[in-house]
Amino acid sequence: DASDIEKGTYPHYMLKEMDEQPTVIRKIIQAYEQGEDVTVDADILDALAEADRLYIIAAGTSYHAGLIGKQYFEKIAGIPVEVHISSEFGYNMPLLSKKPLFIFISQSGETADSRQVLVKIKELGYKSLTVTNVQGSTLSREADYTLLLHAGPEIAVASTKAYVAQIAVLAVAAYAVAKQTGVALDFDLKQELAIVANGIQTIIDSKDKMEQIAEDYLKIARNAFFIGRNMDFCVSLEGALKLKEISYIQAEGFAGGELKHGTIALIEEGTPVFALATQKDVALNIRGNVKEVVARGANACIIAMEGMEEEGDCLVLPPVHELLTPLVSVVPLQLISYYAALHRRCDVDKPRNLAKSVTVE
């Protein structure tokens, strides 16, 4: 559909693509629903269930989605997972398990670093699954199986809707294989994803807040930190990448507990620190980390899940299932990066030095 690749009334593709995220989640529910459930094809379920270990291979934002995927396959389905950066894996292969299954995550399906790994593992005789937005892409054609993201064309160089689509599809796959192998599950993923779609919409409807946060925290910042623990740590890596790519502000994502092992030395008067607090069992610890950086002059913005918020937090996220929090917590980070880039007059859709898909190793 032509409207998919036109900006319409939007000033930027990135804004349009962020806005599409609730629709993308709903499309994924539709594409993968079977009766009351969401699931994937039987041959993919078998391949996942037979593997003794999954190796997720990806780059950039797709790698960050893979880090969340690991949590899903391990916590929901009980399958051990390793996540590797494609460009490292190919030339420094770890010892592999007896029955590995390789999962390539790639929005474009054309990333050369990922493809060289696919070529190598095929030579070794291993099976592969590609999770991609582009049907018929190289990684999709060359792998044994494909799961599609159904996110529609993503034009902006900074990936947004593909990230949430990747996480949602990985959740569906992990949930489906858990059901297949008889794991007792205490939640209904289809229903929880519908709640996520509404939650993302709520955040998008309040974008003005994110514009204000970008103005307050990042207008003159030279650097910024994103901290979190557990899944929030994975999302903080993505928040930092978004900000770097489009606003050129130097940014780092950090595990909250790791700060005191070095990075806290960089905190000065006014350093912006974005802290995610969506995971109950580490809520107190991340609050502690915030106190540590504030005591050293940081300008902290806490993004907390509803029910875990405290007075003074700068943003409260609509409640979703604890495993699915990355799908909502990343959205304010995307929007904050977008507005920070706008305030700094950067070319949001086509940041300097970057290409949408990197087809050279």
User: Interface with ligand AGP by CB under 6 A: which residues?
Assistant: 59-62, 106-108, 111, 114, 157-159, 245, 357-358
Distance, in Å, from the CA atom of 293 to the CA atom of 12, rounded to the nearest integer, reads: 35
Q: What are the two backbone dihedrals, phi and then psi, of residue 182, each rounded to the nearest 5 degrees?
A: 80, 20
Distance, in Å, from the CA atom of 113 to the CA atom of 183, rounded to the nearest integer, reads: 35
Looking at the Cβ atoms of 209 and 350, the one nearer to ligand AGP is 350
Give catalytic status of residue 356 as yes or no: yes
List residues bridging with 145 in a β-sheet: 129
Shortest spacing between CB 64 and ligand AGP, in angstroms? 8
Distance, in Å, from the CA atom of 222 to the CA atom of 230, rounded to the nearest integer, reads: 27
Looking at the Cβ atoms of 37 and 88, the one nearer to ligand AGP is 88
Looking at the Cβ atoms of 289 and 337, the one nearer to ligand AGP is 337
Q: Which of 127, 209, 350, 356 is catalytic?
A: 356
Sign of CA dihedral 327, 316, 246, 198: positive
Structure tokens at 290: 């915030």
Please count the other Cβ atoms lying within 10 Å of the Cβ belonging to residue 253.
25
Measure the CA angle with vertex 25, ends 19 and 29; round to 5°. 155
Q: What are the two backbone dihedrals, phi and then psi, of residue 307, each rounded to the nearest 5 degrees?
A: 100, -20
> Please, how many CA atoms are within 13 Å of residue 54, restricted to the half-sphere of its CB?
32
Looking at the Cβ atoms of 108 and 289, the one nearer to ligand AGP is 108
Q: List the catalytic residues.
A: 356
